[in-house]
Structure 1
Amino acid sequence: HMALPLIGEGEAFFEGERISGKMALKKAGLEPITLAAKEGLALTNGTSVMTAVGLLETTRAFKLSEIADISGCLSLEALNGTTLAFDERIHSLRPHPRQEKCAKNLNEILDGSEFTRGYDPANVQDAYTLRCIPQVHGACRDAIAYAEWVIKIELNAVTDNPLIFVDDEENIEVISGGNFHGEPLALSMDYLAIALAELGNISERRIMRLTDEDSNSHVLPPFLTENGGLNSGFMIVQYTAAALATENKVLAHPASVDTIPSSANVEDHVSMGVTSVLKLRDISRNLQRILSMELFSAAQAIDFRKKEIGEDKKLGKKTQPVYEQIRSRVPFIEEDTVMYPHMDEVERLVAEKLA
Structure 2
Amino acid sequence: MSKSPEEIDVVSINEEELSVKKIVAVARYLKRVQVFKGAKRKKVEDVRKYVEENWLGQDSPPLYGFNTGIGSLKNVSISHEKIARFQENYIKSHSVGVGEPLDAEIVRGAILIQANSLSKGHSGIRPVIVDKLIEMLNKRVHPVVPAQGSLGASGDLAPLTHIASVLVGVDEAEIWLTDKKVKLQEIKDSSGVIKFRLDNEDVTFQTIPLQGKEAIALTNATAIMLSIAVHLMHDVDILLKNADVAAALSLEAMMCEKDAFADELHRLRHQEGQINTARNIRSLTQNSRRMAVEARHEFFKTTTETELRKNLDAEDKKNDIETISKYKFEYEFEKNRVQDAYSLRCIPQVHGACKDAFNYVKTIVEHEISAVTDNPLIFPKNDGDGYHVKSGGNFHGEPLAMAMDFLAIAMTEIGSISDRRVFRLLSPRMSFGLTRNLAGGEAGLNSGLMMVQYTGAQLVSENKILAHPASVDSIPTSDNQEDHVSMGQTAARKARRIAKNSRYLIAIEYICALQGIHLSARHSSVDLNKFPLGNGTSAAFNFLNSIKDAKSERPSFQLMDEDEYLKTKIEKMRAVSARGDILRAVEKEVGLVV
Q: Taking structure 2 as the reference length, what is the TM-score of the superposition?
A: 0.57
Tell me the alpha carbon deviations over residues 301-351 of structure 1, each in whole angstroms, 9 at most, x when there is no partner. Answer: 001121231241321111112112222332311122221112222122112
Q: Determine which of 154, 164, 170 is the counterpart of 2:368.
A: 154
63-72 or 340-349, which deviates more: 340-349
Which amino acid is the alignment partner of residue 200 of structure 1? G
Rate the CA distance shift 1:314–1:42 in 2: closer, same or farther, 3 A. Answer: farther
Give me the whole-angstrom Cα distance separating, in 2, the residues matched to 1:160 and 1:255.
23
Q: How does 1:185-204 map to 2 (within 5 A)?
A: 185-204=400-419
Rate the CA distance shift 1:63–1:351 in 2: closer, same or farther, 3 A. Answer: closer
2:515 maps to 300
1:345 maps to 572
3-state SS in 2 of match to 1:256: coil
Identify unmatched segments of 5+ residues in structure 2. Answer: 1-161, 197-203, 295-332, 548-555, 584-594
Give me the whole-angstrom Cα distance separating, in 2, the residues matched to 1:348 and 1:151.
25
Q: Determine which of 499, 516, 540 is the counterpart of 1:322.
A: 540
3-state SS in 1 of match to 2:442: coil
Give me the whole-angstrom Cα distance separating, in 2, the residues matched to 1:14 and 1:307.
52
147-156 or 306-315, which deviates more: 306-315
Q: Determine which of 117, 120, 127 is the counterpart of 2:292.
A: 117
Tell me the alpha carbon deviations over residues 27-84 of structure 1, each in whole angstroms, 9 at most, x when there is no partner. Answer: 2322103446654335433511111111110221111100000000000000110111
CA contact (8 A) 1:111 1:316 kept: yes
Which amino acid is the alignment partner of residue 11 of structure 1? A
1:18 maps to 182
Which amino acid is the alignment partner of residue 365 of structure 2? I
Tell me the alpha carbon deviations over residues 125-183 of structure 1, each in whole angstroms, 9 at most, x when there is no partner. Answer: 11101100000000000110111110111111221211222224225332211111110
Give me the whole-angstrom Cα distance separating, in 2, the residues matched to 1:316 and 1:39.
59
CA contact (8 A) 1:296 1:326 kept: no
Question: Which structure would you say has the larger RCO, counting Cα contacts within 8 Å and 6 or more residues apart?
Answer: 1
1:310 maps to 527
3-state SS in 1 of match to 2:479: coil
Give me the whole-angstrom Cα distance separating, in 2, the residues matched to 1:297 and 1:290.
11
Residues paired across the two proteins, number: 354
CA contact (8 A) 1:186 1:255 kept: yes
Q: Determine which of 279, 283, 287 is the counterpart of 2:498.
A: 283
1:59 maps to 234
1:141 maps to 355
3-state SS in 2 of match to 1:26: strand
1:91 maps to 266
Rate the CA distance shift 1:38–1:121 in 2: closer, same or farther, 3 A. Answer: farther
CA contact (8 A) 1:22 1:32 kept: no
Rate the CA distance shift 1:349–1:17 in 2: closer, same or farther, 3 A. Answer: closer
220-229 or 12-21, which deviates more: 12-21
Shift of 1:121: 5.5
Give me the whole-angstrom Cα distance separating, in 2, the residues matched to 1:37 and 1:97.
50
What percent identity do the matched residue pairs reach?
Answer: 39
Give RMSD over aligned pairs.
Answer: 2.0
Give me the whole-angstrom Cα distance separating, in 2, the residues matched to 1:56 and 1:33.
30
Give me the whole-angstrom Cα distance separating, in 1, the residues matched to 2:509 and 2:561.
18
CA contact (8 A) 1:292 1:343 kept: yes
Larger Rg: 2
Tell me the alpha carbon deviations over residues 271-323 of structure 1, each in whole angstroms, 9 at most, x when there is no partner. Answer: 00000111111111111111011001100000112123124132111111211
Give me the whole-angstrom Cα distance separating, in 1, the residues matched to 2:181 and 2:510.
42
Which amino acid is the alignment partner of residue 27 of structure 1? K
300-309 or 129-138, which deviates more: 300-309
Identify unmatched segments of 5+ residues in structure 1. Answer: none
CA contact (8 A) 1:4 1:21 kept: no
Q: Taking structure 1 as the reference length, what is the TM-score of the superposition?
A: 0.94
1:211 maps to 426
